[in-house]
Amino acid sequence: MKYTESVFEDLSKRYSYQPMFLQSVEEVLTSIDPLVVGHKEYEDAALLERLVQPERTVSFRVPWVDDTGTVRVNRGWRVQFSSALGPYKGGLRFHPSVNMDTVKFLGFEQIFKNSLTGLPMGGGKGGSDFNPKGKSDVEVMRFCQSYMTELFRHIGADTDVPAGDIGVGNREIGYLFGHYKRLTNQFTGVLTGKGLSYGGSLIRTEATGYGIVYLAEAILKDHQDSLEGKKVLVSGSGNVAIYTIEKLCQLGACPLTASDSDGWIYDPHGIDFESLKEIKEKRRGRVSEYVDTHPHAEYHEGGCLWDIEADLAIPAAIQNEITLDKAKLLLKNGVKYLIEGANMPTLLNATKLLAEQGVYIAPSKAANAGGVATSGLEMTQNAERLSWSAEEVDAKLNTIMTNIYQNAARAAEEQGNRDNLIAGANMAGFKKVADAMMAQGIV
């Protein structure tokens, strides 16, 4: 049996109760096999066995008091997966679905994503099963303070630097940062995605969405094509979806849809970015409200938005949204490019079908790396106690995304198929981590 297969078989037995973690490991190990075969030294150093085990996981109680005076108890986690390339780095997700499986799959993905950015960042992820939806600002603050009361002892600007993810945006990062500062009496770059007045970077809010579109643009350019006039299906209406939609419009594409966990909107004229931002980012409302001011648009409660003719699809909500049935809808509707905005939005059988049918897939590790890359730029600015202009950060982001595409495409080409960006991204990401692990000894 191959080394990659035996490591995966062993992991599957031990963690059969963590299916998303296994899904993310299976994809990576399958792709990197050509880089591992012929490298007996990896096996001798148990490199893969170490790579698939987080260096540290913490799981903790988060008690807080709601506005009625009732005591509530949530679970909190932080997975410090790999410090081979730098301090652990990755977001925090607050969503009722979060468990150890969620943070392990996200942390594992983050190792390779961060490697692809070319910046010195290891991989980590954290979160809680707390649901910020419907909570008052003060409840969210109390929760964040309680969460940080435990987390602070495990993180630091040179140790582990959390940021946002689903359910964790500017507001939550502010409360988390304020409490960290109070507990440690230190003003450091321990979190990214901070507000601009206290160490945040310009463009970090926009970065994941903008980066997704910069990567899509680089791919299309390589195919002697462009985003101009392209119809795009986008899911989600959070941080990533909003700024994906804005950049698509700026580059002449037409984003037709957006969604939240209640339903989805279809605007045949193209989604009005300002309006969506006002509803979802400012008012914390629902996408259904969009049709109040855009009567020509449609709102559909439930159901799915993938049954519309389009050129590109950008899922930007949550993992495993693109099932086999949705993949069939994409094929039926002529979609040629699947650009993964969310982390791991596609089930493995759906990926397989789409790839077999010639759909180009840009994997999330590459496509959404602009968020963490700009977090890396925020860390640099904090370390030098300077802040760069929006133009400077945006230009760096664009360069990083273009380099990610070129490096991943080159790695794919070396294996005989330049368009297999899934394999290329995994290989390019893995190579750096493997080199660093080999150099650092058995740790």
Q: Are 118 and 400 in contact (CB under 8 A)?
A: yes
Q: Considering the rule CB under 6 A, would residue 240 count as an interface residue with ligand NDP?
A: yes
Q: How far is the CB of 264 from ligand NDP (least distance, A)?
A: 9
C-alpha to C-alpha distance for 259 and 269, rounded to whole angstroms: 16
Q: Considering the rule CB under 6 A, would residue 201 count as an interface residue with ligand 2IT?
A: no
Q: How far is the CB of 261 from ligand NDP (least distance, A)?
A: 3
Q: How far is the CB of 163 from ligand 2IT (least distance, A)?
A: 3
Question: Which of 146, 239, 351, 407 touches ligand NDP (CB under 6 A)?
Answer: 239
Q: Considering the rule CB under 6 A, would residue 342 count as an interface residue with ligand NDP?
A: yes
* DSSP H stretches of helix in 360-389: 364-367, 369-383
Question: Which of 237, 257, 381, 426 touches ligand NDP (CB under 6 A)?
Answer: 237
Stretch binding ligand 2IT (CB under 6 A), from 88-96, 132-140, 263-271, 389-397: 88-96
Q: Considering the rule CB under 6 A, would residue 90 count as an interface residue with ligand 2IT?
A: yes
C-alpha to C-alpha distance for 62 and 77, rounded to whole angstroms: 10
Question: Which of 167, 363, 376, 429 touches ligand NDP (CB under 6 A)?
Answer: 167
Chain centroid to Cα 154, Å, comes to 22
Q: Are 236 and 264 in contact (CB under 8 A)?
A: no
> Which of ligand 2IT, ligand NDP, none does 366 bind, CB closer than 5 to 8 A by kind?
none
In a 10 Å sphere around its CB, with 0-12 CB exposed, 13-18 middle and 19+ buried, how is residue 287 labelled? buried
- DSSP letter, residue 282: I
Among 122, 66, 130, 64, CA closest to 93: 130
Q: Considering the rule CB under 6 A, would residue 115 count as an interface residue with ligand NDP?
A: no
Please report, to the nearest 10 degrees, the dihedral formed by the alpha carbons of residues 396, 207, 423, 430 taken in order. 70
Question: Which of 115, 375, 420, 426 touches ligand 2IT (CB under 6 A)?
Answer: 375
Question: Which of 318, 322, 377, 433 touches ligand NDP (CB under 6 A)?
Answer: 318
Sheet holding 337-339, edge to edge: 254-255, 231-234, 312-314, 337-339, 360-362
Stretch binding ligand NDP (CB under 6 A), from 28-36, 62-70, 253-261, 405-413: 253-261
Chain centroid to Cα 269, Å, comes to 28
What SS3 class is residue 204? helix
Q: Considering the rule CB under 6 A, would residue 235 count as an interface residue with ligand 2IT?
A: no
Q: Considering the rule CB under 6 A, would residue 371 count as an interface residue with ligand NDP?
A: yes
x/- string (CB under 6 A) for ligand 2IT, residues 107-136? ------x-----------------------
> Which of ligand 2IT, ligand NDP, none does 236 bind, CB closer than 5 to 8 A by kind?
ligand NDP
What SS3 class is residue 175? helix
Name, in order, each residue with C-beta under 8 angstroms of 1's C-beta and a sequence gap of 6 or more. Answer: 9
Which is nearer to ligand NDP, 35 or 316 (by Cβ)? 316
Q: Considering the rule CB under 6 A, would residue 426 count as an interface residue with ligand NDP?
A: no
C-alpha to C-alpha distance for 365 and 441, rounded to whole angstroms: 26
Q: Considering the rule CB under 6 A, would residue 366 count as an interface residue with ligand NDP?
A: no
Q: Can you give the length of the chain in residues?
A: 443
- Catalytic one of 125, 280, 365, 432: 125
Quick one: which H or E segment has residue 313? Answer: strand 312-314
Stretch binding ligand NDP (CB under 6 A), from 19-27, 255-263, 265-273, 431-439: 255-263
> Which of ligand 2IT, ligand NDP, none does 393 bind, CB closer than 5 to 8 A by kind?
none
Long-range contacts of 46-50 (CB under 8 A, 24+ apart): 46/442, 47/434, 47/437, 47/438, 48/3, 48/4, 48/7, 49/7, 49/10, 50/437, 50/442
Q: Considering the rule CB under 6 A, would residue 371 count as an interface residue with ligand 2IT?
A: yes
φ/ψ of residue 73, rounded to 5: -130, 120
Q: Considering the rule CB under 6 A, would residue 90 count as an interface residue with ligand NDP?
A: no
> Which of ligand 2IT, ligand NDP, none does 237 bind, CB closer than 5 to 8 A by kind?
ligand NDP
C-alpha to C-alpha distance for 406 and 278, rounded to whole angstroms: 36
Site for ligand 2IT in 351-370 (CB under 6 A): 368
Q: Considering the rule CB under 6 A, would residue 83 count as an interface residue with ligand NDP?
A: no
Which is nearer to ligand 2IT, 73 or 196 (by Cβ)? 196
Site for ligand NDP in 62-81 (CB under 6 A): none
What SS3 class is residue 301? strand
Reading the block at residue 132, the tokens are: 């910020």
Concerning whether 125 is annotated as a catalytic residue, the answer is yes
Which is nearer to ligand NDP, 166 or 437 (by Cβ)? 166
Q: Considering the rule CB under 6 A, would residue 368 count as an interface residue with ligand NDP?
A: yes
Angle between helices 390-414 and 421-439 (to 10 degrees): 100
Residues making contact with ligand 2IT (CB under 6 A)? 89-91, 113, 163, 165, 192, 343, 368, 371-372, 375
> What are the residue numbers of the active site?
125
The residues binding ligand NDP (CB under 6 A) are 164-167, 169, 208, 236-241, 259-262, 316-318, 341-343, 368, 371
